[in-house]
Homo-oligomer: A and B are copies of this chain.
Amino acid sequence: MVVIVMGVSGCGKTTIGKMLAESLALPYYDADAFHPEVNVQKMREGIPLDDLDREPWLNELARQLADWEKGSGAVLSCSALKEKYRGKFNARVNNIYWVVLQGSYEQIYSRLQARAGHYMKPGLLKSQFETLEVPAYGFHISVLDSPEEITAQIIRNMELTKKSSFGLIGLGVMGKSIALNIAEKHIALSVYNRAEAGEEKVVQHFLEENKQIENLQGYIELRSFVESLKKPRKILIMIKAGSALDEVIEQLSPFLAPGDILIDGGNSHYQDTEKRMEILAKKQIDFVGAGISGGEEGARTGPSIMPGCSREAYRHIAPVLEALAARDKQGASCCTHVGPGGSGHFVKMVHNGIEYAEMQLLADIFTVLAADYTYEEIAAIFEQWDRTELSSFLLQITATILRKKEGNRYLLDLILDSAGSKGTGSWSGIAALHFGQAATLMTTAVFARYISALKERRVQLSDQMKTKEIKSGKPEVGSLYHAYYFAKILNHQQGFALIKAVSDELQWHIDLGEIARIWTNGCIIKSAFMEKCQVIFGRCSDLFSEQEVLDTLKEFEPSVSEIVRLSIQKRMSVPVLFTALDYWFAITTRRSSAAVIQAQRDYFGAHTYQRTDKQSGMFFHTKWTEQ
Contacts and interface: CB of A to CB of B under 8 A. Distances in A.
A433 interface: yes
Interface string A529-551: 00000000000000010000010
A181 B188 CA distance: 76
Contacts of A605: 295-296
A550 B457 CA distance: 13
A296 to B, nearest CB: 6
A587 B461 contact: yes
A408 interface: no
A414 interface: yes
A114 interface: no
A136 interface: no
A438 B444 CA distance: 9
Nearest to A454: B587
B582 A575 contact: yes
A587 B459 CA distance: 8
Interface residues of A, number: 110
Interface stretch (A49-57, A77-85, A304-312, A588-596): A588-596
Nearest to A567: B585
A41 to B, nearest CB: 66
Interface string A393-409: 11001101100100000
Interface stretch (A189-197, A445-453, A479-487): A445-453
Contacts of A362: 596, 600
Interface string A597-625: 11111011111011111001000001011
A454 B592 CA distance: 11
Interface stretch (A147-155, A199-207, A212-220, A415-423): A415-423
B418 A594 contact: yes
A24 interface: no
A489 interface: no
B416 A599 contact: no
B429 A453 contact: no
A583 B461 CA distance: 12
Given A429-B433, A444-B440, A599 B412 contact: yes
Contact of A624 (B401, B554, B581, B610): B401
Nearest to A173: B606
Contacts of A609: 415-416
Given A414-B612, A524-B604, A433 B438 contact: no
B411 A438 contact: no
Contact of A612 (B415, B434, B448, B611): B415
Identify which of A565, A590, A593 gathers the most chain B CB atoms within 10 Å of its CB: A593
A582 B572 CA distance: 8
A243 interface: no
Contact of A443 (B359, B433, B622): B433
Contact of A572 (B366, B367, B413, B585): B585
27 contacts: A297-B604, A359-B596, A359-B601, A362-B600, A364-B593, A366-B596, A397-B603, A397-B604, A400-B625, A411-B599, A414-B612, A415-B595, A416-B612, A419-B594, A439-B447, A440-B447, A443-B443, A449-B594, A452-B594, A458-B592, A461-B544, A464-B550, A561-B569, A565-B568, A571-B585, A573-B586, A578-B578
5 pairs of A and B residues whose beta carbons are closest in the complex: A452-B594, A363-B593, A573-B586, A462-B590, A573-B585
